[in-house]
Amino acid sequence: MDAFLQSQIEIVVAFQKIGGLEGLMKGFTFLGSEEFFLVLLPLVYLCIDAGVGARLAFVLLLSDSINALLKIAFHLPRPYWFDPQRVKGLAEETSYGLPSGHAQNATSVWVFLASAMKKPWAWAGAAVIAFLISISRVYLGVHFPMDIAAGWVISGAFLAAYLWVEPGAKGWLSSLGMWGQIGVVSGAAAIIVVAGFIVRAAVAGVADPAAWAEFAKEARLLNGVVTDAGAIFGVGVGLAMASRWARFNAGGPLGKRVARFGIGLVGVGVVWIGLRVIFPREPEAIGLFFRFVRYALATWWAIFLAPWVFLKMKLVEPI
């Protein structure tokens, strides 16, 4: 494996020798970051199309859950961990490298949006955006080309499975009623968290090589897994409640859309940033519990409470 990784280092080094691209590549990589998705999801759900926004949330969170589990399972390094003498780490990452989360999630998100829009230009735009986000990760020294390729392959398989299962799953969930839906999403969140502990236990006896172990000292934390589980729980509970008490049309005048987006985003920020400052992070079990709660509340606000408030303020029309 070391020889194979070393051969890919040559590609990363050659790419980094192209000067003047660092700022541009950091801009592309931001389009695949958690912070960007925290802006994109409320924008789509609250201001464009609530149905597409809800589906997009599940696509992103399920894709990222798979990615977080696979990173721990493969426990492979990033280029600047593996050869810090030759590769410049232009971005700092604490998780393992394979598969690339940016490549996988960007492909899942933008290809899903293209499939929802059903326009040729949307497909072309999705391909370009996903490609630029992916190559930015190589330039920044945080992914090998194989990490990118793996992200694309996993994203393609995941999206195909999701789009195949979704219609039947949607009909089944609709028949369960609110408490049945909350039970299902609670079970799904629990499965993701338990899977994280199982995968971590499975690799516990395999130590990282001393050469890059210092870089990977936080790579087996379950923060990413619990983040996704909490967010999925919040989205699921929010949708179950919204279907009863906060059904709304995401269209309307531009001014009202802008107001909804601003209020919705501020609410997400208050929960996401404010509770991060307040909630404890140690010991691990306590920190993971409060991380779950924080992300569940942030997504529950965006999916249910914000639309409920907008209905009271007459910023949206009920349906």
Residue 248 belongs to a domain: yes
Q: What whole-number distance in Å separates Cα of residue 146 and Cα of residue 179?
A: 43
**CB-CB neighbours of 128 under 10 Å:** 11
Residue 10 belongs to a domain: no
Smallest Cα–Cα separation from 107: which of 66, 168, 54? 66
Q: What whole-number distance in Å separates Cα of residue 292 and Cα of residue 230?
A: 4
**CB-CB neighbours of 306 under 10 Å:** 28
Are 308 and 301 in contact, with CB atoms under 8 Å apart? no
Residue 239 belongs to a domain: yes
pTM, rounded to two decimals: 0.94
Smallest Cα–Cα separation from 141: which of 103, 183, 179, 89? 89
Residue 28 belongs to a domain: no
Q: Which residues pair with 318 in a beta bridge?
A: 248
Domain that holds residue 231: 34-318
Residue 6 belongs to a domain: no
Return all residues near 196 (Cβ < 8 A) that are at least 6 apart: 68, 69, 72, 222, 225, 226, 229
Residue 74 belongs to a domain: yes
Q: What whole-number distance in Å separates Cα of residue 142 and Cα of residue 302?
A: 31
* Number of compact structural domains in the chain: 1
Residue 45 belongs to a domain: yes
The size of the chain, in residues, is 319
pLDDT average per 10 residues of sequence, the chain (319 residues): 86 92 96 94 96 97 98 97 94 95 97 92 95 97 97 97 94 92 97 98 94 94 97 98 96 96 96 92 93 97 98 95
Are 116 and 48 in contact, with CB atoms under 8 Å apart? no
Residue 220 belongs to a domain: yes
